[in-house]
Amino acid sequence: MFPLLETIDSPDDLRKLERKQLPKLAEELRAFLVGSVSQTGGHLSSNLGTVELTIALHYVFNTPEDKLVWDVGHQTYAHKILTGRRKVMHTLRMQNGIAGFPKREESPYDAFGTGHSSTSISAALGMAVAARLAGNDQRAVAIIGDGAMTGGMAFEALNNAGALDANMLVVLNDNDMSISTPVGALNNYLAKLMSGRFYTAMRSGSEKLLKGMPPVLEFAKRAEEHVKGMVTPGTLFEELGFNYIGPIDGHDLDTLVTTLQNIRELEGPQFLHIVTQKGKGYAHAEKDCVLYHGVGKFDPVHGIVAKPVAKKTYTHIFGDWLCDMAAADDKLVGITPAMCEGSGMVEFAEKYPQRYFDVGIAEQHALTFAAGLACDGYKPVVAIYSTFLQRAYDQLIHDIAIQNLPVMLAIDRGGLVGADGATHAGAFDLSFLRCIPNMTVMAPADENECRSMLTTAYRMNTPTAVRYPRGSGTGAFVHKDLQVLPVGKGELRRQGGQIAILAFGSMLAPALEAAESLDATVTNMRFIKPLDEELVLSLARAHRLLVTVEENTIQGGAGSAVAECLARHGITIPILHLGLPDTFIEQGEHAKLLADCGLDAAGIAHSIRKKLPD
């Protein structure tokens, strides 16, 4: 079915092909990608868009000695297939299978592990400098998308790379923002010309010749900039010290290969701008690249068929609440760092476009931007994944918490996230949030409580965070009122014997189930900060064993808050902390991962029985 692709078990095999065979390989690789992802789920649109680029990079560069650093990693499936992992693609994003992102432990061709964006240029620069220090000719290539280029870290790295004059290549894969439109054959011709040695040598030689005539040299430089500026958008990158080439058609293999071969021979920092189409070659994905960005299993012939939603997800609950609260308060503004669909803000963006702000992949900016809005009387709601909030920790402390500003964080994907694995897990937020002064931190046990907590957080005039998991909860009925909960108060959910389970957030349901066989008391703690100390102390006085359960790392988490409370009051009682272990949890089915961590009902009951005092 894939006669050419099946002969490629490594880039060495790829480099044995004649150039005229590469378009056929691209055709087979694209078809394989559609078939493979339809069976496993994963990121499709972006991978279809980088087929030709991936082939050209491995064809020209001597990987793995030359380093390819992929930004984010959403676009690396073709790379995995061409580097010896074709036969195990059916295990993609599954437990004990291959990861959905580059992973150093998985292959020597994965030069750098990536799951968060805008890191590739920094990492590739480090590798380029390492090669220079070692005195070898290894090359480093950063492949970054236009979305990731909105991250400030990318520009920090560009600035440093130009100053260091390192031998590296940055490939900008422009597939969405349309930074500029390719001008067809003329642009491709210019790219080949400007990447060639003759043009580079001519420019260098002209500078030497004209150095004795400074006014003429300055005129020549300005003339070159103006000429290039008329046909390319590279002025910014040139000013940062890069030799800008492009934009070129990222699906034209002949132009890609020729241009990359030329660039491979150049010294100093190079910048290649290519334009590609997300979903290229698969009609369904070309029509709706957002829908096919991250997909579950689907029929490759008919595409994704919408299925009725049995239960609303927490993301949907947030989206509905956001629209309702915006209708009630015209001071509400919604902010997202490039996660409109993922965070459930599509309807809000349509209804309130003047109050909706997508700041791009710029989490640090998102929080300080929110702080500025809060200073002038607005009530910002920042919708952000737990894993991405980690990137803006300083801004949360310095710009929001110290100034005690009313910025609300709606933190999605708290806890484990299944197939996306360790890079996307929200394992640490309860730990790193609760230590910040002025913060209020809460975690809902079900969908209805999530809506109430969102309202409670918004009504406060201080920094707040509502942390909820990926997917749906218990299926609880969700009221439409904007109810407020008493701040810092938990609730007793089951009265039992000598064991008290203090459940935080999503762990309430398995805790209640485990309690049935143990005859344990169960409380829904609701607030991580401020902790309901009165409830904790009353439970400690009435029981022989306290058990804390949370979908967060045990170190420094909600359970630690309980232990600190008991210590402050001089109460000594056996206490068992259950939560995520001190390790990075890899990808797999969410329920199975929780069970492996002992956080399902059976695991909770088993751990408690082992701990029971004699």
Q: Are 235 and 225 in contact (CB under 8 A)?
A: yes
| Look-up of token digits 């949360």 | 396
239 is catalytic: no
Q: Strand 294-295 vs strand 332-336: parallel, antiparallel, or unpaired?
A: unpaired
- Give 299's DSSP letter: B
Contacts of 413 (CB under 8 A, 6+ apart): 385, 386, 387, 424, 425, 426, 469, 470
| Marked catalytic residue, from 67, 139, 391, 434 | 391
How far is Cα of residue 483 from the mean position of the Cα atoms in its chain? 32
Q: Under the phi-then-psi rule, with left for phi > 0, alpha for psi from -120 to 50, and beta for the rest, what region is 93?
A: left
Over its C-alpha atoms, the chain yields an Rg (Å, rounded) of 27
From 52, 363, 449, 551, active-site residue: 363
Helix H segments across 140-279? 152-164, 185-195, 197-210, 214-231, 235-239, 253-264
278 tagged catalytic:
yes
Task: Please confirm, yes or no, whether 222 is among the known catalytic residues.
Answer: no
Please, what is the Cα angle at 118 between 113 and 121, to 5 degrees? Answer: 75
Return the SS3 of 294. Answer: strand
CA 177, 182, 185: angle at the middle one, nearest 5?
Answer: 165
Measure Cα distances from 484 to 459, 460, 481, 578 in Å.
8, 10, 9, 29
Tokens of 540: 């400690």
Catalytic residue among 103, 278, 379, 434: 278
Determine contact, residues 55/8, Cβ cutoff 8 Å. Answer: no
3-state SS assignment for residue 397: helix
User: Which run of H or of E encompasses 518?
Assistant: helix 508-518
Residue type, 85: R
Active site residues: 278, 363, 391
